[in-house]
Amino acid sequence: MKSSTGINQQDDQRDIRILVDGHGGDAAPAMVLDALEIALSPSFAARFQGSLTLGVVGQEEVLRPLLQQRGIEDSVSLIPATDVVGMCDSPSHALRRKKDSSIHVGARMVRDGYWDALVSAGNTGALMAISKVLLKTLPGIDRPAIASMIPAVNNGRTLMLDAGANSECTSDHLVQFAIMGSCYMQATERLEHPRVGLLNIGSEDIKGTDVIKMTSVKLAETSLNYIGNVEGTDLFGNDVDVVVCDGFVGNVALKTMEGTARFLADSMRSELTSGVVAKAGALMARSALKRFKDKVNPGKYNGAPLLGLNGIVVKSHGGADAESFVSALTVACHEVSENLTDRITESIQEMVES
């Protein structure tokens, strides 16, 4: 992929070097290594332009035996880090006191150009804080945001950001999120003019907080394809590609989605297994129910990019299994092969100049 303005031109066949955090996630480290094993298959690498190099960062004495057990010690680089960030560590504690943690070492490796991306299922706040301090933000971006892909009807996708990094945002932050989200959807979904919507509590201009109203005015002045206010019900439709909100609202929306889906699936399961006829019917409809489950499987959409950093970092859900962790790896590979960081830099430059 050649960059149109010539920043950081790359060969079409670039090397994609992905480093994963060996200690992030509820089922780490085993889950992470299982995911690496899957990603080593030729069919995985074949999905991207360029050759794929995989590495894992973490405690050598823990990770080496697991690599050996799987017979992948020659195919996966092991980058040593002595410490681990816990899920309860505060971001500032992880940042200042755990400088040899897997997240810290991983982010440093990306900063210094040894690896192209870091993927972690660990502590979100710590991952964000460490990445922000080590990698810095892109010029023109004050705060990185977590972007989350949401399944939509007709196999569509909606990108929502911020999904939880910034509880309080100014209108300028939200405009920056809109630019980053738009670039991301251009690069990864091949959309020419992604439609950008502002998450609000009604479609009318008079709705929402003062920050939201101001953001709407500013978005309308950009060259983005801004379509105005959208609502929670629009997240799953085909009328918007990028939905912008602050991290508090985005995180509540995302967790509400997760809760609703789980509640509905549990309710359906209990009904379909209560009674012989219903059970038989459910058996006959099994493949349809499985297709349904696959289609709305949140794991399929696992892997939330931390956008706005001068480097590629992808957050996996902490509860991910190996298969959904592979989805997060896929997100990282796409970002690298599409030169996402350069693209966002260029877009912001263009917006500032215009």
Q: Which residues contact its own copies (rule: CB under 8 A)?
A: 88, 90, 151-153, 164, 167-168, 199, 201, 204, 206-210, 212, 231-237, 245, 247-249, 251-264, 266-268, 271-272, 274-275, 277-278, 280-289, 291-292, 295-296
CB of 90 to its own copies, least distance (A): 6
Helix H or strand E encompassing 42 = helix 42-45
CB of 177 to its own copies, least distance (A): 16
CB of 82 to its own copies, least distance (A): 26
Residue type at position 329: L
Nearer to its own copies, 193 or 291 (CB): 291
CB of 319 to its own copies, least distance (A): 11
Nearer to its own copies, 76 or 126 (CB): 126
CB of 42 to its own copies, least distance (A): 31
Longest CA–CA separation in the chain, Å:
68
Nearer to its own copies, 217 or 288 (CB): 288
Nearer to its own copies, 140 or 232 (CB): 232
Gyration radius of the chain over CA positions: 21
**Quick one: residue 190, left, alpha or beta (phi over 0 = left, psi -120 to 50 = alpha)?**
left
CB of 85 to its own copies, least distance (A): 15
CB of 212 to its own copies, least distance (A): 8
Contact indicator for 164, 254 with CB cutoff of 8 Å:
yes
Nearer to its own copies, 231 or 323 (CB): 231
Collapse the DSSP code of 226 into the 3-class scheme (helix H, G, I; strand E, B; otherwise coil) and give the result: strand
Contact indicator for 305, 314 with CB cutoff of 8 Å:
yes
Q: How far apart are CA 325 and CA 179, in angstroms?
A: 27
Collapse the DSSP code of 18 into the 3-class scheme (helix H, G, I; strand E, B; otherwise coil) and give the result: strand
Nearer to its own copies, 96 or 286 (CB): 286
The token pair at 216 is 């709407």
Helix H or strand E encompassing 149 = strand 145-152
Alpha helices in 71-230 (DSSP H): 91-97, 102-111, 124-135, 171-189, 210-221
Nearer to its own copies, 69 or 167 (CB): 167
Nearer to its own copies, 225 or 297 (CB): 297
Distance, first Cα to last Cα, the chain: 25
Closest CA to 77 of 44, 108, 52, 103: 52
Closest CA to 209 of 242, 168, 180: 168
CB of 154 to its own copies, least distance (A): 10
